[in-house]
């Protein structure tokens, strides 16, 4: 069918991906001689014109802005992460301009707030600021322009002014406590009970009616009536409330998040997250400088297009600790015992306390050779199950001004979890050619030519027969271990070193002994009788050493007293 100008379409390109585009008006000579009848401009390649056949439904479909009008296939196109930026541009381009508001009558103007008043609280303005930072720059500029036309400017200065106004309003709304009447004069014999009465009255006036003296004969003074909810609330909320407090720190800017994404998590030598997690995106980050902070991050529901079934079960939201230099080998704050009090670091997400994991346990003298990954905190159940567009993060650090307890950056990332079994299967099928090339290089070069090597068929970690024998490329021993057991141990301790010799053993540095694996699969019935398998050159078969039966020694005991 023929589409009108400015109609938004889905166009299937040569890469078999559906991309959003817009129909534009073109000159007749631009279309003549080209197969097609409609000229479009793609949102991911602005400025370039393409001619498509609008009558071919296999290559052109209507772009529906309303989610209720989308077909199941179109919902899948919206969820494609490759076209996310182009889709956001198309949606912002399709949004109509705000309608013109007529001037209110004189009676309505009298009821309007004064000039410069903001219809949002400071907490709501912070939430709007967090959501604006979570979207792409094009959408952010469109939303900022619309809010500016409506007289709303979201900035740190505006938030501080609204917060100061709220504080003044709360001070004016506070009710003065009722003063206790002066005590009546008493005879000298009752002087001691009178002092108890004065103490009880003072405690009752401060709100502690239960603190009256048991011998006080005077009636209890009622406490001051409570003001409206939130009118006299303390400015510093207690841990776990989930509200913004005076410890609020704005999350990191987009430029810092881009540096973290490219240099820390997606770098060529990046090994920050455990291999059981696949990094997808950064949700937010906050800087902690040896004091308690409270911040807010956008929820994945608010920044990502998801299908009707929701997020995949393997999606995870993780908190990653980094140092001030973006080093992941700092870990979380260690508990500190100060006299009779223990100083610990605590984290609360949406009012729920989250336990912190342990840091690494490295043998003495092996700290320099340890290959560590960050000990992350999984907060998926507290974030993905909620429908709020933002979630709050409260990091509490003991207040010791003269001691540096913990400073760094906490990064919230979106990742995909990979099971250890799937990781082992992937490693066993990925490195076949590289292992053969390495083995040929080692056998042909070097000062010492080892022609045979004894390898036990039982794993030294579990004492069970191996199924996928493996070891590290830097290991100097020939003994192999069960691949699944090694990966499970490394993932549990967050230290990716060989359990035997402590050589580096990242997933990219794992060797699988395919000759031994094939022999174990072919002779699994004889495994119980085999003690060693002798590694031989590639042109010779493996040698097998079977267990030898040991004769039982018996001794006869003779009773000489019988």
Q: Are 63 and 75 in contact (CB under 8 A)?
A: no
326-358 burial, b for 16+ CB within 10 Å, e for fewer? bebbbbbbeeeeeeeeebbbbbbbbeeebebee
For 215-251, what is each residue's pLDDT tens digit? 344 344 333 333 333 333 334 444 444 444 557 888 9
What the block records as the tokens of 457 is 């068929």
pLDDT confidence of residue 558: 59
Strands 336-338 and 352-354: unpaired
d(CA 471, CA 453): 14
Residue in this structure with the two tokens 């990954």, named with its chain if needed: 373
What the block records as the tokens of 309 is 């079934």
Return the SS3 of 404.
coil
d(CA 521, CA 486): 20
Strand partners, 343: 336
pLDDT confidence of residue 277: 96
Q: How far is C-alpha 84 from the chain's CA centre?
A: 20
Nearest 5 degrees, angle CA 131-CA 134-CA 137? 110
Which residues contact residue 185 at a Cβ distance below 8 angstroms, ignoring those fewer than 6 apart?
none
Residues of the chain with pLDDT under 50: 27, 29, 100-101, 103-115, 176, 186-244, 433-448, 552
The 3-class secondary structure across 441-467, one letter per residue, is HHHHCCCCCCCCEEEECECCCCCCECC
| DSSP 8-state secondary structure symbol assigned to residue 394 | E
268-289 burial, b for 16+ CB within 10 Å, e for fewer? eeebbbbbbbebbebbbbbbbe
pLDDT confidence of residue 295: 93
Which residues contact residue 400 at a Cβ distance below 8 angstroms, ignoring those fewer than 6 apart?
343
pLDDT confidence of residue 311: 84
Closest CA to 418 of 276, 530, 532: 276
Alpha-carbon separation of residue 232 from 5, 172, 202, 492 (angstroms): 58, 10, 21, 48
Number of helical H runs and strand E runs in the chain: 15, 21
d(CA 371, CA 497): 6
Alpha helices in 313-470 (DSSP H): 380-383, 420-430, 432-444
For 144-153, what is each residue's pLDDT tens digit? 778 877 777 7
pLDDT confidence of residue 312: 87
d(CA 24, CA 19): 16
Burial environment of residue 379 by CB neighbours within 10 A (0 to 12, 13 to 18, 19 or more)? buried
Residue in this structure with the two tokens 């997020």, named with its chain if needed: 311
Sequential DSSP letters for 56-123: -TTTEEE--SSGGG--HHHHHHHT-GGGHHHHHHHHHHHSPPPPPPPPPPHHHHHHSPPTT--SS-HH
Which residues contact residue 239 at a Cβ distance below 8 angstroms, ignoring those fewer than 6 apart?
346, 348, 394, 396
| DSSP 8-state secondary structure symbol assigned to residue 546 | E
**How much is the CA Rg of the chain, to the nearest whole Å?**
35
23-55 burial, b for 16+ CB within 10 Å, e for fewer? beeeeeeeeeeeebebbbebbbeeeeeebbebe
d(CA 389, CA 492): 33
pLDDT confidence of residue 492: 95
Closest CA to 452 of 434, 474, 478, 473: 478
Q: How far is C-alpha 433 from the chain's CA centre?
A: 35
All structural domains of the chain, each given as residue ranges with its CATH number in brackets, are 7-93 (2.30.30), 123-165 (no CATH), 254-418 (2.60.120.780), 449-546 (3.30.40.10)
Closest CA to 420 of 276, 254, 240, 247: 276
- Widest pairwise Cα distance in the chain: 127
Q: How many CA atoms lie within 13 A of 217 on its CB side?
A: 7
pLDDT confidence of residue 219: 40
Residue in this structure with the two tokens 């700290």, named with its chain if needed: 367
What the block records as the tokens of 258 is 């881009």
Alpha-carbon separation of residue 110 from 106, 113, 135, 494 (angstroms): 6, 8, 38, 65
Both ends of the chain: CA-CA distance in Å? 115
């Amino acid at each position: 069918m023929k589409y009108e100008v400015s109609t938004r379409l889905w166009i299937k390109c040569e890469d078999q991906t559906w991309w959003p585009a817009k129909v534009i008006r073109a000159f007749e000579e631009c279309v003549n001689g080209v197969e097609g009848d409609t000229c479009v401009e793609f949102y991911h390649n602005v400025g370039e014109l393409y001619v498509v056949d609008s009558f071919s439904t296999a290559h052109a479909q209507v772009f529906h802005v309303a989610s209720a009008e989308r077909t199941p296939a179109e919902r899948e196109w919206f969820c494609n992460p490759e076209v996310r930026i182009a889709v956001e541009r198309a949606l912002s381009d399709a949004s109509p301009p705000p309608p013109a508001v007529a001037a209110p009558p004189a009676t309505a103007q009298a009821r309007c707030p004064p000039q410069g008043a903001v219809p949002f609280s400071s907490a709501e303005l912070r939430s709007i600021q967090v959501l604006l930072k979570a979207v792409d720059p094009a959408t952010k500029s469109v939303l900022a322009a619309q809010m500016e036309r409506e007289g709303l400017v979201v900035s740190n200065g505006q938030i501080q002014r609204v917060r100061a106004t709220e504080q003044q309003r709360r001070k004016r709304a506070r009710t003065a406590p009722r003063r206790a009447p002066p005590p009546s004069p008493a005879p000298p014999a009752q002087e001691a009970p009178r002092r108890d009465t004065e103490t009880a009255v003072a405690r009752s006036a401060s709100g502690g009616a239960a603190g009256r003296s048991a011998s006080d004969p005077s009636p209890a003074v009622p406490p001051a009536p409570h003001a409206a909810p939130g009118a006299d609330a303390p400015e510093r909320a207690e841990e776990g409330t989930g509200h913004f407090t005076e410890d609020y720190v704005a999350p990191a800017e987009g430029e810092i998040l881009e540096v973290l994404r490219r240099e820390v998590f997606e770098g060529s030598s990046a090994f920050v997250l455990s291999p059981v997690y696949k990094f997808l995106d950064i949700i937010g980050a906050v800087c902690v400088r040896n004091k308690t902070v409270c911040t807010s991050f956008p929820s994945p529901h608010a920044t990502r297009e998801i299908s009707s079934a929701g997020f995949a079960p393997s999606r995870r939201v993780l908190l990653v600790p980094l140092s001030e230099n973006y080093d992941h080998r700092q870990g979380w704050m260690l508990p500190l015992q100060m006299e009779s009090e223990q100083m610990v670091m605590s984290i609360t997400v949406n009012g729920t306390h989250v336990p912190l994991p342990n840091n690494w346990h490295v043998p003495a003298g092996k700290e320099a050779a340890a290959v560590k990954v960050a000990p992350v905190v999984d907060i998926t159940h507290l974030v993905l199950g909620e429908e709020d567009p933002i979630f709050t993060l409260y990091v509490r650090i003991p207040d010791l001004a003269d001691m540096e307890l913990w400073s760094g950056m906490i990064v919230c990332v979106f990742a995909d979890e990979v099971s250890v079994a799937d990781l082992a299967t992937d490693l066993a099928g990925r490195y076949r050619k590289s292992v053969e090339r390495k083995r040929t290089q080692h056998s042909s070069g070097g000062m010492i030519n080892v022609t045979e090597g004894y390898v036990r068929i039982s794993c030294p970690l579990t004492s069970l027969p191996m199924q996928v024998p493996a070891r590290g490329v830097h290991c100097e021993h020939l003994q192999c271990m069960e691949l699944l057991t090694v990966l499970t141990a490394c993932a549990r301790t967050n230290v990716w070193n060989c359990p035997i010799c402590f050589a580096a053993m990242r997933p990219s540095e794992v060797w699988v002994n395919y000759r031994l694996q094939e022999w174990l699969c072919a002779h699994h019935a004889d495994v119980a009788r085999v003690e060693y398998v002798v590694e031989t050159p590639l042109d010779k078969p493996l040698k097998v050493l079977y267990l030898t039966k040991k004769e039982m020694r018996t001794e006869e005991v003779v009773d000489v007293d019988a």
